[in-house]
Structure 1
Amino acid sequence: MTIERQNPPGLHTPPGYHHVTTTSPGRTVYLAGQCPLTADGSLAGDDILAQTDQVVANTAAALEFAGATPSDVVRTVIYVVTTDRAELSAVWDRLTASPLGPAFTSASTLLGVAQLGFPGQRVELDVTAALA
């Protein structure tokens, strides 16, 4: 599997991710949106960074189950319940500094949203990976 991450001429230089990610033929893995829920189904606290850490742990477990690593990720969409740009940045910084960090060098979108599926949920991560 070949994964190419590129920034086309004429587009701004993104902070860590790439505008275009392409893959050669292979197997694609689509994860369900990973939520900040613990194994028993409870929310991992009210703190946005604690929830981010749980999302990282859940995503890592799902990738490992599929036989993928963060370096195999070709697309991420990060949803954060906030209108505060500093909170968006804090979640981005926490994700990129985590063991999932390499996943965020591909095509990535970070969104502030009004609400997510579980009461009190502040963060969700949608991931696509490409495997040979």
Structure 2
Amino acid sequence: MSLERINPEELSPATGFSHAVVASGGRLVFLAGQTALDGAGKVVGGTLPEQFEQALANLLAALAGAGGAPADLARVTVYAVDVADYRDCAPELGRIWRRLAGREYPAMAVVGVVRLWDETALVELDGLAVLP
């Protein structure tokens, strides 16, 4: 299995994401949306960075349960109830990402939403990974 991250020079610099990811020779893992739920099913954290960290940890736990690692992520979609807050917190969110998932960035998108399934959730992440 291999993931090739592609960031053409004619596109804006890819900071914290890859413009394209080519996957070959592996098995697909579709990762359900994860919010900042703890093991008891309660949303934890009152700030976007706190919730982002828990949601990302949950996504990575689901990936690990399928036998994968952060570098296997090919695509992640972030759903945020406040995109302006997400942009303001982007440097801190990037530090959280690098600490938990490293510097191999998947193709990513941030989508603004009115609300999430859990009413107190500020952010949700889902993804696609390619495992050997």
Could you state the TM-score of these two structures normalised by the residue count of structure 1? Answer: 0.87
1:11 partner SS: coil
AA aligned opposite 1:93: G
1:97 matched to 2:98: yes
Name the structure 1 match of 2:80: 80
Deviation at 1:38, TM superposition (A): 0.7
* Cα distance, 1:96 vs structure 2: 2.3
Matching of residues 32-47 of structure 1 within 5 Å: 32-47=32-47
CA distance in 1, matches of 2:57, 2:99: 10
TM-score by length of structure 2 reads 0.87
Give the Cα–Cα distance (whole angstroms) in 2 for the partners of residues 83 and 7 of structure 1. Answer: 24
Number of the residue aligned with 2:129: 129
For structure 2, list consecutive stretches of 5 or more residues without a partner in the other structure. Answer: none
Shift of 1:61: 1.2
SS in 2 for 1:31: strand
Aligned match of 1:49: 49
Counterpart amino acid of residue 38 in structure 1: D
Equivalent pairs: percent with the same residue? 35
Number of positions where the alignment pairs a residue of Structure 1 with one of Structure 2: 130
Match of 2:29?
29
Contact 1:48–1:91 at 8 Å: present in 2 too? no
Unaligned runs of 5+ in 1: none
Q: Contact 2:29–2:129 at 8 Å: present in 1 too? A: yes
Matched, 1:65 2:65: yes
